[in-house]
Amino acid sequence: RDQSERRIQEWVALDADRKIEIEEYQRRIESLLGTVRIMDSESGGAEPSGRDGGRNIAPSPLRDLEAEKKMHKDLIDYIHLLEGNSQGNNKKRISPLISTINGAFDIEFNANPTVADDMIEYYRSRPELKEFTLKSELPRMDYEVLILDEQTNETLKLTDTDEIRSYFATLEGGSMDEEVELLIRASNQSLLADPLSMLTGEGEGKLVHSGSFHSTVIATECSFKLDLRHEGQRRVKVHCELAVCVPSGADNAAGYEGNLTPEDSESDQKLERKSATLELARANLAIQFSPSPTSTPSGPLVKYTLLDIKPTIDDYGVDGVNETAIQSAVMVLARDRHTHIRYNENEANSVASRSSSVKNRFISRVKQLSSSSDY
């Protein structure tokens, strides 16, 4: 009887798995049939092919040319958004995208006193982040620690990894107050979780359109400056350079490591290198955090500021050196667009309630990526 029951349960599970597989096959078949119908409805079923180093690329029978055309327009609009084209000739005017993002930072974080309180509680309840900062992050990031010399009362600047570790080791005997302890726990990439979450979404007020373009940000440089000189004013300042990227389509067509200049286009060696991402722009993000109740008139400080956005891709029009790179990205984005899940603001939790889980997921990912290195 027991064997019969086990076999019945196995059959039920197998049947459920097969049902899921069949539904997936049906979804793919319907998608392919839709593509075929679109192609059949077009005259000739194909448009002039793009170029790849002077070689014609035959259109794939599964390509949705209408979808690619729309995706090309949307991607160029996205690049224009990053460029801040509405600035006109006034280069000193702040980009509308930067103004919108910083306005959102002010409303959701900078002017919300509960955010700083929640952040203090987050780091207060996670002592393990201190070891993560000193063991994993300190050797691979730029750190600067400002302290006061006990004898001369002059400012000392610590930048060497061993020197910084030695200084904090001397405080372990009991002279380390809670402000310093919390700042050490916070001085790592966990501070990036909330602003990066805020930058990601859909619409003109977002830097990273993860839905439409599967775009991502990569922290290319990150520096931490801890000012521990005066009690009640201690804080950490973070400067982070972010690369805004989209899938390059290098698995389907020619990909590039970085973007091309006219000089690069003449180099066959440059064309041979491939990358999974196409960089569109670089952005500079500034972060300040102070757990001191006297750091501002309203209490502890949390401040996020997007300093600038600098496009890193140009000459992507017809006959431009980056035209093929854009076309390659368009192909893969158009193919995958139907699978993306758009961000639903109605289902999003408030910043205060989701902040802890966002940090937890973010720092877990950072630890996974850094676990392969020995520090």
> How far, CA to CA in Å, does 136 sit from each of 128, 259, 371?
12, 31, 8
pTM: 0.69
Instruction: Please tell me the distance from the alpha carbon of residue 309 to that of residue 82, in angstroms, as a whole number.
Output: 7
Residue 49 makes CB contacts below 8 A (sequence gap 6+) with 56, 57, 58, 59
On the question of pLDDT at 33 being above 90, the answer is no
pLDDT tens by residue, 256-269:
344 544 444 444 44
pLDDT tens by residue, 116-157:
999 999 999 999 999 999 999 999 999 999 999 989 999 999
pLDDT at res. 92: 58
- Long-range pairs for 26-35 at CB < 8 Å and ≥24 separation? 31/338, 32/62, 35/62, 35/63, 35/64
Least-confidence region, from 90-104, 127-141, 159-173, 244-258: 244-258
Range of 8-12, 42-46, 176-180, 289-293 with top mean pLDDT: 289-293
pLDDT at res. 150: 85
Task: State the average pLDDT over residues 194-198.
Answer: 90
On the question of pLDDT at 57 being above 60, the answer is no
pLDDT at res. 139: 94
pLDDT at res. 95: 82
Least-confidence region, from 58-67, 150-159, 197-206, 319-328: 58-67
pLDDT at res. 25: 64
- Long-range pairs for 93-99 at CB < 8 Å and ≥24 separation? 95/308, 95/309, 96/204, 97/204, 97/205, 97/207, 97/309, 98/306, 98/308, 98/309
